[in-house]
Chains A and B, each alone.
Chain A
Amino acid sequence: MFEMRLHGRGGQGVVTAAELLSIAAFNDGLHAQAFPSFGSERTGAPVMSYCRISDHEIRTREPVNNPDAVLVIDPTLLHQIDVFSGLGPDGYAVINSSRSLSELDLGDLVSRGKAERLLTVPATDLAREYLGRPLPNIAVLGAVAALTQVVTLDSLATAIRDRFKGKVGEGNVKAASAAYELIAPASGQARKPEVVDA
Chain B
Amino acid sequence: MLKQIEGSQAVAQIISRCRPEVICAYPISPQTHIVEALSRLVKSGELEHCEYVNVESEFAAMSVAIGASATGARTYTATASQGLLYMTEALYNASGLGLPIVMTVANRALGSPINIWNDHSDSMSQRDSGWIQLYVESNQEAVDVHMQAFRLAEELSLPVMVCMDGFVLTHAVERVEIPEQADVDAFVPPFVPRQILDPQDPMSIGAMVGPEAYTEVRYLAHYQQMQALDLIPQLASEFEQRFGRPAGGLLRTYRCEDAETIVVALGSVIGTIEDAIDELREEGMSIGCLALKTFRPWPGEEVRSALSGCKRVVVAEKAFSVGVGGIVVENVQNAIGDLPIDLYGAIIGLGGRAVRKAALKELFTDAVDGKLASTTFVDLDRDLVRRELERMSAKRRSGAHAENMLHDVSSLVSKGV
Using CB atoms and an 8 Å cutoff, list the residues of chain A in contact with chain B.
18-19, 22-23, 25-27, 31-36, 38, 40, 58-63, 65
Shortest 4 CB-CB contacts between residues of A and residues of B: A59-B271, A26-B4, A34-B173, A35-B172
Instruction: Using CB atoms, name the residue of chain A closest to B139.
Output: A33
A38-B174 contact, Cβ under 8 Å, with A32-B4, A62-B356: no
Instruction: Using CB atoms, name the residue of chain B closest to A51.
Output: B173
A19-B274 contact, Cβ under 8 Å, with A32-B4, A61-B269, A61-B355: no
**A44 to B116 CA separation, bound complex (whole angstroms):** 19
Q: Is A38 within 8 A of B172, CB to CB?
A: no
A61-B173 contact, Cβ under 8 Å, with A22-B4, A23-B4, A32-B4: no
Using CB atoms and an 8 Å cutoff, list the residues of chain B in contact with chain A.
4, 6, 116-118, 167-168, 171-175, 268-272, 274-275, 352, 354-357
Q: Is B174 within 8 A of A58, CB to CB?
A: yes
**A26 to B271 CA separation, bound complex (whole angstroms):** 20
**A59 to B272 CA separation, bound complex (whole angstroms):** 6
**A31 to B354 CA separation, bound complex (whole angstroms):** 22
- Among B116, B269, B270, B355, contact of A40 (Cβ-Cβ < 8 Å): B116
Q: Is A36 within 8 A of B271, CB to CB?
A: no
- Among B118, B175, B356, contact of A38 (Cβ-Cβ < 8 Å): B118
- Among A25, A34, A61, contact of B168 (Cβ-Cβ < 8 Å): A61
**A118 to B118 CA separation, bound complex (whole angstroms):** 35
Q: Is B272 within 8 A of A62, CB to CB?
A: yes
Q: Is A61 within 8 A of B272, CB to CB?
A: yes
**A23 to B174 CA separation, bound complex (whole angstroms):** 8
**A32 to B357 CA separation, bound complex (whole angstroms):** 19
Question: A26 — which chain B residues lie within 8 A by C-beta?
Answer: 4, 175
* 10 A-B pairs in the complex with CB atoms less than 8 angstroms apart: A22-B173, A23-B173, A26-B175, A32-B175, A35-B168, A35-B172, A59-B274, A59-B275, A60-B271, A62-B356
Question: B274 — which chain A residues lie within 8 A by C-beta?
Answer: 59
Question: A34 — which chain B residues lie within 8 A by C-beta?
Answer: 172-174
Question: A38 — which chain B residues lie within 8 A by C-beta?
Answer: 116-118, 167, 171, 352
Q: Is A62 within 8 A of B175, CB to CB?
A: no
**A59 to B352 CA separation, bound complex (whole angstroms):** 18
Q: Is A62 within 8 A of B354, CB to CB?
A: yes
- Among B4, B116, B268, B352, contact of A61 (Cβ-Cβ < 8 Å): B268
Question: B172 — which chain A residues lie within 8 A by C-beta?
Answer: 33-35, 61
- Among A35, A59, A60, contact of B173 (Cβ-Cβ < 8 Å): A35
Q: Is A60 within 8 A of B4, CB to CB?
A: no
Question: B118 — which chain A residues lie within 8 A by C-beta?
Answer: 38
Instruction: Using CB atoms, name the residue of chain A closest to B114.
Output: A40
Q: Is B4 within 8 A of A35, CB to CB?
A: no
Question: A35 — which chain B residues lie within 8 A by C-beta?
Answer: 167-168, 171-173
Give chain A nearest CB distance to B145 CB in angstroms.
17
A62-B173 contact, Cβ under 8 Å, with A26-B4, A32-B4: no
**A19 to B354 CA separation, bound complex (whole angstroms):** 20
**A59 to B356 CA separation, bound complex (whole angstroms):** 13
Question: B167 — which chain A residues lie within 8 A by C-beta?
Answer: 35-36, 38
Instruction: Using CB atoms, name the residue of chain A closest to B167.
Output: A38
Give chain B nearest CB distance to A2 CB in angstroms.
15
**A31 to B4 CA separation, bound complex (whole angstroms):** 9
Question: B356 — which chain A residues lie within 8 A by C-beta?
Answer: 62, 65
Instruction: Using CB atoms, name the residue of chain B closest to A26.
Output: B4
**A18 to B116 CA separation, bound complex (whole angstroms):** 22
**A25 to B173 CA separation, bound complex (whole angstroms):** 12
Give chain A nearest CB distance to B136 CB in angstroms.
12
Give chain A nearest CB distance to B183 CB in angstroms.
22
Q: A22-B173, A26-B4 provided; 9 other pairs, C-beta below 8 A? A: A18-B173, A32-B173, A36-B167, A38-B116, A38-B167, A59-B271, A61-B268, A62-B356, A65-B356
Instruction: Using CB atoms, name the residue of chain A closest to B269.
Output: A61
**A61 to B360 CA separation, bound complex (whole angstroms):** 13
Give chain A nearest CB distance to B255 CB in angstroms.
13
Give chain B nearest CB distance to A79 CB in angstroms.
13
Q: Is A60 within 8 A of B357, CB to CB?
A: yes
Instruction: Using CB atoms, name the residue of chain A closest to B172.
Output: A35
Q: Is A62 within 8 A of B355, CB to CB?
A: yes
Question: B354 — which chain A residues lie within 8 A by C-beta?
Answer: 62-63
Question: B173 — which chain A residues lie within 8 A by C-beta?
Answer: 18-19, 22-23, 32-35
Give chain A nearest CB distance to B6 CB in angstroms.
8
**A61 to B117 CA separation, bound complex (whole angstroms):** 14
Instruction: Using CB atoms, name the residue of chain B closest to A38.
Output: B167
